[in-house]
């Protein structure tokens, strides 16, 4: 559809392009170029050839059928992301302005008395009086995600996931000048100092550290604590105690942009991802925790998509869930490890990680 100019007809009739219209046009143009680059980059990755990120841009481009450049330019003075932030801020004067669009898509925050452990504040989105709804995290309902049902191998049907067996208890938002690895081993960190300090032998923590490289390296770390002792006969126990090959073939991530520009929703999608097949993953295993370090920079495609999304991050509400893929009848239905929601993340709010020793 992006190869045709019919979507521009409404914009061009008036002769004057408004701010929201220019933003939409720039987003569509960016998505088209992103799709073109993605197909090219996949071929490059297959051949094992790397290219500088400066050669790849997600910017407004000239229409292939001759539409003038001006229809793709959001502004010659202000960045598209800044215009979008400004427009959304003026368009949603009420803090609960978007809540009605996602009435069933709420977080499981049952009490306004929240105890914050990690560097990112626990809150709630959609907005609720007395709770923070920006630059915060919460845990959406597991039924927002669909997973393989009991008879999936026979009928290929997916079902609402239900309640996760681990609780999201903390989130850290870090920035440093080098990649942030093995965060759970640091004595003054959230895992060692807070989550395992008082009940070291009873708790098991599953941590996911998503690493975004760049001039400054960002990491967002999700800490999940099991609601019950680790069942040694479960699929998750096999994952915890398995080798890296088994882990890489089973750990699944399902993303979803609950609120954000259409171009970002299309770029992120909702398709499940077997993380270890697409990205470099390093596992740090101890008797009472398992940390999964996911290096976004290990894939050129993933890195450029994520850095593109970061340009819109202040306007986004992003959901994710983690689970172990079931491949046999005995491993079905699939169960969620945990869910997460990050609302309107502020890059400048990232803090330095705790020292290694």
Q: Are 212 and 218 in contact (CB under 8 A)?
A: yes
CA angle 102, 106, 108 (to 5 degrees): 175
**Among residues of the chain, what percentage have pLDDT more than 90?**
57
Distance from C-alpha of 71 to C-alpha of 61, rounded to nearest angstrom: 10
Please give the chain's pLDDT, 357 residues, in tens.
444 555 555 555 555 556 555 556 555 555 555 555 455 445 544 544 444 433 333 333 333 333 333 333 333 333 333 333 333 333 333 333 333 333 345 676 544 455 678 999 999 999 888 889 999 999 999 999 999 999 999 999 999 999 999 999 999 999 999 999 999 999 999 999 999 987 656 789 999 999 999 899 999 999 999 999 999 999 999 999 999 999 999 999 999 999 999 888 988 889 999 999 999 999 999 999 999 999 999 998 888 888 888 889 999 999 999 999 999 999 999 999 999 999 999 999 999 999 998
Listing DSSP states for 244-268 in one string gives HHHHHHHEEEEEEEEES-HHHHHHH
Q: pLDDT at position 257, please?
A: 94
Q: pLDDT at position 114, please?
A: 54
Long-range residue pairs from 243-250, CB within 8 A, at least 24 positions apart, any chain: 244/276, 244/281, 244/283, 247/276, 247/281, 247/283, 248/274, 248/275, 248/276, 248/277, 248/281, 249/274, 249/276, 249/277, 249/325, 250/274, 250/276, 250/324, 250/325
Torsion angles phi and psi, residue 308, rounded to 5: -65, -45
Distance from C-alpha of 195 to C-alpha of 215, rounded to nearest angstrom: 31
* Residue 53: exposure state from Cβ atoms within 10 A (0-12, 13-18, ≥19): middle
- pLDDT 10s digits, 77-115: 333 333 333 333 333 333 333 333 333 456 765 444 556
Distance from C-alpha of 337 to C-alpha of 226, rounded to nearest angstrom: 8
Q: pLDDT at position 144, please?
A: 95
- pLDDT 10s digits, 168-222: 999 999 999 999 999 999 999 999 999 998 765 678 999 999 999 989 999 999 9
Give 239's strand partners: none
SS3 at position 282:
strand
Closest CA to 221 of 162, 288, 153, 289: 289
The encoded tokens of residue 294 equal 């996911």
pTM assigned to the model: 0.72
């Amino acid at each position: 559809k992006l190869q045709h100019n019919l979507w521009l007809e409404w914009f061009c009739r008036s002769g004057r392009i408004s701010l929201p219209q220019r933003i939409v046009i720039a987003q569509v143009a960016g998505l088209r170029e992103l799709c073109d680059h993605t197909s090219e980059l996949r071929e490059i990755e297959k051949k094992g050839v790397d290219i500088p990120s400066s050669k790849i841009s997600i910017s407004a481009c000239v229409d292939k059928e001759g539409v003038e450049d001006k229809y793709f330019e959001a502004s010659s003075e202000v960045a598209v992301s800044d215009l979008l932030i400004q427009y959304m801020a003026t368009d949603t004067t009420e803090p609960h302005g978007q809540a009605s669009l996602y009435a069933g898509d709420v977080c499981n925050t049952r009490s306004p008395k929240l105890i914050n452990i990690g560097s990112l504040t626990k809150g709630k989105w959609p907005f609720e009086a007395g709770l923070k709804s920006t630059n915060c995290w919460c845990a959406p309902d597991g039924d927002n995600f669909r997973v393989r049902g009991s008879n999936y191998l026979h009928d290929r049907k997916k079902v609402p996931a239900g309640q996760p067996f681990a609780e999201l208890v903390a989130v850290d938002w870090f920035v440093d000048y080098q990649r942030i690895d093995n965060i759970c081993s640091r004595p003054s960190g959230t895992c060692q100092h807070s989550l395992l300090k008082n009940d070291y032998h009873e708790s098991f923590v599953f941590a996911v550290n998503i690493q975004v490289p760049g001039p400054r390296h960002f990491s967002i770390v999700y800490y999940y604590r099991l609601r019950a002792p680790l069942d040694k006969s479960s699929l998750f126990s096999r994952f915890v105690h398995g080798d890296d090959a088994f882990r890489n073939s089973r750990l699944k991530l399902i993303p979803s942009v609950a609120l954000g520009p259409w171009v970002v929703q299309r770029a992120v999608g909702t398709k499940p991802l077997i993380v270890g097949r697409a990205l470099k993953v390093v596992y740090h295993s101890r008797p009472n925790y398992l940390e999964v370090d996911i290096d976004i920079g290990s894939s050129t495609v993933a890195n450029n998509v994520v850095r593109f999304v970061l340009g819109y991050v202040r306007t986004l509400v992003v959901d994710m869930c983690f689970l172990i893929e079931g491949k046999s009848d005995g491993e079905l239905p699939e169960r969620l490890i945990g869910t997460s929601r990050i609302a309107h993340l502020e890059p400048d709010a990232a803090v330095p990680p705790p020292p290694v020793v």
